[in-house]
Amino acid sequence: MSKAWYVLLLLPFIATLFPSLYNSWNPTLFGFPFFYWYQMLWVILSAACTGLVYLAERRTSAARK
């Protein structure tokens, strides 16, 4: 497995590292301030990133056997 896939695991960490960048009311989504829906979006994106890395690792492990 290429180590480039592991960069995906850093994205959620970096995206939520500086709350002062996303600590705002606007734009709202379904009435939720940006601060909350941005973090909830990263929960979903984090799961997607983790899943992609898992699938890439599993494919590499299967190829080695």
User: Within 10 Å of residue 38's Cβ, how many Cβ atoms?
Assistant: 19
pLDDT tens digits for range 7-29: 999 999 999 999 999 999 999 99
Least confident of 1-5, 32-36, 59-63: 1-5
Quick check: helix, strand or coil at residue 33?
Answer: coil
Residue for token pair 């600590």: 23
Q: How many CA atoms lie within 13 A of 32 on its CB side?
A: 10
44-63, pLDDT tens digit by residue? Answer: 999 999 999 999 999 888 88
Mean pLDDT of 34-53: 96
Q: Which of 20, 42, 40, 22 is nearest to 30 (CA)?
A: 40
Q: Which two tokens stand for residue 4?
A: 């480039």
